[in-house]
Amino acid sequence: MADVAIPRAKPQMSEDNAWTQLKHNRNWLGFWFMVPAMAFLIFFLAYPLGLGIWLSFTDTRIGRVGHFVATENYEWLWDDSIFWLSVFNTLLYTFIASALKFAIGLYLALLLNENMPFKAMLRAMVLIPFIVPTVLSALAFWWIFDSQFSIISWSLKHLGVINQNINFLGDTTWARICVIFANIWRGVPFVAITLLAGLQTVSPSLYEAATLDGATRWQNFRFITYPLLTPIIAVVMTFSVLFTFTDFQLIWAMTRGGPVNATHLMATLSYQRAIIAGQLGEGAAISSAMIPFLLAAIMVSWFGLQRRKWQQGENND
Amino acid sequence: MTDLPTRSIDLKNVLSGSAPTADHSEGMSYLQSVPRRMVTLYLPLAIIVVVLLFPFYWMALTSVKPDEQLLDLDRYNPFWTWNPTFKHFHKLLFESYYPYWLWNTMYVAVCATVLSIIASVLAAYAIVRLRYKGANLVGGLIFLAYLVPPSILFIPLATVVFQYGLFDSPLALILTYPTILIPFSTWLLMGYFKTIPFELEECALIDGASRWQILIKIVLPLAIPGLISAFIFCFTLCWNEFIYALTFLQSTSNKTVPVAIVNEFVDGDIYRWGSLMAGALAGSLPLVILYAFFVEHYVSAMTGAVKE
């Protein structure tokens, strides 16, 4: 737009030397404006990303420069049952947590969109789990899920549901349920508030018109709310899947991958192998193995979004 | 289908809901009876809100409970305490490095945020308004950078940090956090800059202002809400960051709050829960207070980054 509006200043012939011309050249200016951001992103993002893939083909350890070993790390991982367990855990964790986050988040957004007293305060309170640092709330969950002094076990015992304490973080199934629950708890506010922002762009007159035509509440949702929300759902879920898949801090604070590796995700396993055990090469191979999964997740939601746009005939933006 | 009547997102309404047009139910709410609303609206909402807030209640309660009540669930009602104590906070502030950790976190967060915002303002302005050759491509690349998660980068970054001699210094975090913050805040600010009418810039250009003067004197003052959003959201992200701080810092006194609490407080002591929860509470409070003052900006930052 600016191109049309601000025609490039015509050089005033003889008076202009090369320097003034350069000063008004938008490409030259643009380059200098981009330098700080690009410097950070190249030195601390693009370069490490490439370096990580390179490291995964070497046998680098902490304190020792590595040699190129081709795909040895990957072959090693291929036969490593703990690695495959972590892949399974990551997929399970991502799939269940994202699906439930979406369902509960959308439901909460629809509830918050209704008219009621103390609406502003409710909405602000809902977002608090998202504000508080994940590790600190994970510690609270660690205490809530304590094997001996868990408040949940205590309450259930007093209600007469169970006789013995539940060993929340010591039993493999329970540990998985607990970390997934904590992840959902952390992610629902983000999904709900962003979807709520999307809901508020839907004009009320659509619902009024549909209701006059005899639409039920479900039909209102299915044929008005859902289609109009699709673009924002695609973006929110891309982020949600991405951050769930690469989650590290929640697991590290609550279980550190235990019991018997039942909650090890790929990120925590790569930390354990690379930093604690010192095998940088192997750790890098595990984290590089996440990249194809991430690309697939991004592609799916991206093409979902494009298809939706195409269905709605939205090719003019 | 494109000409469906849609309204642009009014960010203030997302939280305040004050404008009468903000919710559609006002016009049709008479269709629902009160008992029905009780079951379909208030009850599920109450359950969700209680579940979302319970961990904080539990955190706060544990941090003021005396030790003997902490573990004896049979003699005392665990859901309340009649004699709160500040012993755990006292221990935290005067018998541990906690003040240092808090200071480190704050210092790293402020420096990294300021650096990122400066870099992002320049980048966003160049992409949106200078429109140099390849601006759209660079914009797309920056968005892709947002999708690169820290858990993939921390291993190679650790070797980079070591090579540059930054290991175990706050500078390591100050320089690496912007990789998370710049993509986010650049996209947020691009959205804000796009809404500023370019006629203003045209006038200034005709009056002989340079691009730099335009940015400082016209664009930035108009984009202040966006700057605040970007600033507090980046600050929150820094405070929340864990894996880089865990990997790049070693000595106890250099750590940030999240890392220090997880590593230093978790010893065999059976009574550690009080001070652990006090530490978690004290580490969350600054952010919650900040949040209470800038609720709308948080929401606009969250939705702004997703909107594009």
**With contacts defined as CB-CB under 8 Å, which chain B residues touch A33?**
122-123, 125-126, 130
Cα first-last separation, chain A: 13
3-state secondary structure of A6: coil
The pLDDT of residue A183 is above 50:
yes
Q: Minimal Cα–Cα distance from A3 to chain B, Å?
A: 8
Residues A146 and B273: their CA atoms lie apart, in Å, by 10
Rg (CA), chain A: 26
Which tokens belong to A250? 């929640």
pLDDT in tens, B151-163: 999 999 998 898 8
Closest by Cβ to B2, choosing from A30, A134, A312: A312
* Residue A151 pLDDT exceeds 80: yes
The pLDDT value given to residue B3? 42
Do residues A156 and A148 lie in contact, with contact meaning Cβ atoms separated by under 8 Å?
no
Q: Which of A77, A263, A92 is nearest to A168 (CA)?
A: A263
What local confidence, expressed as pLDDT, does residue B192 receive?
87
B22 pLDDT more than 50? no
**Could you give the CA distance from residue A150 to residue A174 in angstroms, rounded to a whole number?**
13
Cα B296–chain centre separation: 13
Nearest to A124 among B15, B31, B45 (CB): B15
The beta-carbon contacts of B54-58 under 8 Å, at least 24 apart in sequence, are B55/A129, B55/A137, B55/A140, B55/A141, B55/A144, B55/A185, B56/A128, B56/A132, B56/A137, B56/A140, B56/B284, B58/A140, B58/A143, B58/A144, B58/A151, B58/B277
- The number of C-beta contacts closer than 8 angstroms across A and B is 348
Among the listed residues B197, B155, B108, B303, the one whose alpha carbon sits nearest the alpha carbon of residue A246: B155
- Please give the Cα distance from A150 to A148 (Å, whole number): 6
Interface of A with B in 242-301 (CB under 8 A): 242-243, 245-249, 252-253, 267, 270-271, 274-275, 280, 283-284, 287-288, 290-291, 294, 298
Q: Do A120 and B149 touch (CB under 8 A)?
A: no
pTM listed for this prediction: 0.86
* Residue of A47, A181, A200, A245 best to disrupt the B interface, most CBs of B under 10 A: A200
Q: Which two tokens stand for residue B231?
A: 């600033």
- pLDDT bin (cut points 50, 70, 90) of residue B305 is low
Percent of chain A with pLDDT over 90: 37
Structure confidence at residue A306 (pLDDT): 67
The answer to whether A87 touches A98, Cβ cutoff 8 Å, is no
Q: Of the candidates A88, A25, A3, which has an alpha carbon nearest to the alpha carbon of residue A262?
A: A88
Contacts of A85 (CB under 8 A, 6+ apart): A261, A262, A264
Give the Cα separation of B130 and B190 in Å (integer). 12
| Pick from B4, B53, B116: CB nearest A125 | B53
Task: Point out the residue among B4, B17, B259 whose CB comes nearest to the CB of A120.
Answer: B17
In angstroms, the separation between the Cα of residue B66 and the nearest Cα of chain A is 15
Residue B18 clears pLDDT 50, i.e. is over it: no
- Work out whether the CA dihedral A180, A185, A189, A192 comes out positive or negative: positive
| Residues near A132 by beta carbon (within 8 Å), at least 6 away in sequence | B56, B284, B287, B288
Judged by CB atoms closer than 8 Å, whether chains meet at A135 and B49 is answered as no
B19 confidence band (pLDDT: 50, 70, 90)? very low
Nearest chain A residue to B297 by CA: give it: A124
pLDDT band (50, 70, 90) for residue A286 = very high
**B117 and B185 in contact (C-beta within 8 Å)?**
yes
Residues 154-193 of A with CB under 8 A from B: 154, 185, 188-190, 193
CA–CA min distance A23, chain B (Å): 9
Smallest CA–CA separation between A220 and chain B, in Å?
12
Helix axes B135-146, B178-195, angle to 10 degrees: 130
C-alpha span between A112 and A106 (Å, rounded): 10
Helix, strand or coil, per DSSP, at residue A202? strand
With beta carbons under 8 A apart, name residues in chain A contacting B22.
200
Q: Please, are residues A288 and A53 in contact by the beta-carbon 8 Å criterion?
A: yes
pLDDT at B79 (0 to 100): 81
Q: Residue B18: phi, psi to the nearest 5?
A: -80, -35
pLDDT for residue B24: 47
Q: Look up the ipTM and state it.
A: 0.85
Of the ranges A143-152, A275-284, B4-13, B104-113, the best mean pLDDT one: B104-113
**Tens digit of pLDDT for each residue in B227-240?**
998 998 899 999 99
Q: Is the pLDDT of residue A23 over 80?
A: no
Structural contact between residues A207 and A220, judged by C-beta atoms closer than 8 angstroms: yes
**What mean pLDDT, rounded, does chain B reach?**
83
Residue A208 and residue B1: Cβ atoms within 8 Å?
no
Average pLDDT over residues A250-273: 90
- Residue B17: pLDDT band (50, 70, 90) is very low
Cβ separation A41–B273 shorter than 8 A: no
Quickly count: other Cβ atoms within 10 Å of residue B4's Cβ. 12
Checking if the pLDDT of B29 tops 80, the result is no
Note whether B120 and B139 are within 8 A (CB).
no
**pLDDT above 90 coverage of chain B, percent:** 30
Q: Which residue has the higher pLDDT, B256 or B37?
A: B256
As beta bridge partners, residue A68 has A58
Task: Read off the tokens for A201.
Answer: 């762009």
Task: Average the pLDDT over each of A59-73, A75-89, A188-202 and give the range with the smallest value.
Answer: A59-73
Partners of residue A202 on adjacent β-strands = B6
CB contact under 8 A, B41 and A5: no
Contact B144, B82 (CB under 8 A): no
